[in-house]
Amino acid sequence: MTLHREGYLIMATGLTILTGIQIGNYFLFTVTGWLWLFLLLTLGALVMAYLIIQFFRVPARTCVYSENDIFCPADGKVVVIEEVEESEYFKDKRIQISVFMSPMNVHANYNPITGLVKYVKYHPGLFLVAWHPKSSTDNERSTVVVEHESGKEVLFRQIAGAVARRICYYVQPGQKVKTGEEFGFIKFGSRIDIFLPLDSQINVKIGDVVKAKLTKIGELK
């Protein structure tokens, strides 16, 4: 396991603040002698340090895939599988699969298929809770479209949640990408929407807990 580069500044700032709090806690203990308060504040500082660090963890995983496989781009829980009208890029009907990422999930995001990046766009927006129906169109988000060698295209969209305030993505139009390569990161609670051709095989169901690079969510036909 490694720690993601997007978290270096946040982790350094957070741990510095917690260290300062703990120093103050020690001096308070020397004055008051309240051991219970010293232990309580120490425990709180340790829990906060753990939460900050675990959010930016990147576990070591190997993605083993076949030519037409579509892999999950994020850790989380499948909350939507439905046929919808995709209005930004395709402007036609697609199968939407949405994965909700809680603050406890790994928040690095990975390409679901191998192919050529055809479209990338960032949209500033609101910060509704990630499971809100309008979060897909009203929240801060980024959209990426990758064309598979078969000519079929898959759209995947990072959506900020109520806590998230920054979406990071690292791909550009014209770039060749591979299944399981990192394409972005979302900070603090969010969602990923994947839009697939209508004839795609779907291998997950609502409520499934999925893992980036490990869970095969479908297959292009």
Contact partners, residue 217, CB within 8 Å, separation at least 6: 70, 71, 72, 78, 97, 112, 194, 202, 203, 204, 210
> Which of 98, 136, 190, 200 is labelled catalytic?
190
Angstrom distance (rounded) from CA 106 to CA 184: 12
Q: CATH assignment of 69-219?
A: 2.70.70
Mean pLDDT along residues 127-136: 59
Helix or strand run (H / E) with residue 3: strand 2-3
Torsion of CA 174, 176, 178, 181, to 10 degrees: -70
Q: Kindly give the pairing relationship between strand 141-147 and strand 153-160.
A: antiparallel
- Given a contact cutoff of 8 angstroms between Cβ atoms, the answer to whether 210 and 75 are in contact is yes
Structure confidence by residue, pLDDT tens digits, 33-76: 999 999 999 999 999 999 889 889 999 999 999 999 999 999 99
- Given a contact cutoff of 8 angstroms between Cβ atoms, the answer to whether 99 and 79 are in contact is yes
Percent of the chain with pLDDT strictly greater than 90: 76
Q: Tokens 């929240």 — which residue?
A: 139
**What is the pLDDT at residue 187?**
78
**What is the pLDDT at residue 137?**
63
Banded model confidence at residue 125, pLDDT cuts 50, 70, 90: confident
Banded model confidence at residue 189, pLDDT cuts 50, 70, 90: low
Q: Is the pLDDT of residue 132 over 60?
A: no
Banded model confidence at residue 206, pLDDT cuts 50, 70, 90: very high
Banded model confidence at residue 175, pLDDT cuts 50, 70, 90: very high
Banded model confidence at residue 135, pLDDT cuts 50, 70, 90: low
Closest of 180, 137, 133, 130 to residue 160, by C-alpha: 130
| Catalytic residue flag (residue 190) | yes
**What is the pLDDT at residue 164?**
56
Q: Tokens 């770039």 — which residue?
A: 175
The phi, psi pair for 28, rounded to 5°, reads -65, -40
Q: Tokens 């900020």 — which residue?
A: 160
Mean pLDDT along residues 24-37: 94
Average pLDDT value over all residues in the chain: 91
Angstrom distance (rounded) from CA 92 to CA 198: 10
**What is the pLDDT at residue 131?**
56
Q: Is the pLDDT of residue 130 over 90?
A: no
- Given a contact cutoff of 8 angstroms between Cβ atoms, the answer to whether 27 and 41 are in contact is no
